[in-house]
């Protein structure tokens, strides 16, 4: 899930514009946090510190990536 979303963010970030043609920077930061968590989980790394385990928990990463996919699918380009 993380690779396609990260490629969209890096190669064609304009596909994440809203209906007004603007970025939601706060939402994009959360999506990128989810992508980072997806990569951390995907390579099998398990942080030792509780704070890092919570921040990069797979369920949190999947939820944030789902928000990213939802934002991408409902973006202005599909209208």
pTM listed for this prediction: 0.83
Pairwise CA distance, residues 49 & 26, whole Å: 26
Question: In the prediction, which pLDDT does 72 show?
Answer: 86
Contact 30, 67 (CB under 8 A): yes
Give the per-residue pLDDT at 79.
47
- In angstroms, the CA 52 to CA 59 distance is 14
pLDDT per residue rounded down to tens, the chain (79 residues) = 899 999 988 998 888 887 777 888 889 999 999 999 999 999 999 999 999 999 999 999 999 999 999 888 887 555 4
Identify the DSSP state of 49: S
Alpha-helical segments (H) within the chain: 2-11, 25-42, 50-55, 58-73
């Amino acid at each position: 899930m993380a690779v396609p979303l990260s490629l969209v963010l890096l190669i064609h970030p304009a596909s994440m514009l809203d209906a007004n043609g603007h970025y939601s920077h706060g939402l994009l930061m959360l999506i990128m946090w989810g992508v980072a968590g997806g990569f951390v989980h995907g390579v099998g790394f398990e942080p030792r510190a509780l704070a890092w385990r919570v921040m990069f928990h797979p369920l949190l990463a999947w939820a944030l990536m789902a928000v990213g996919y939802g934002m991408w699918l409902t973006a202005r380009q599909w209208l």
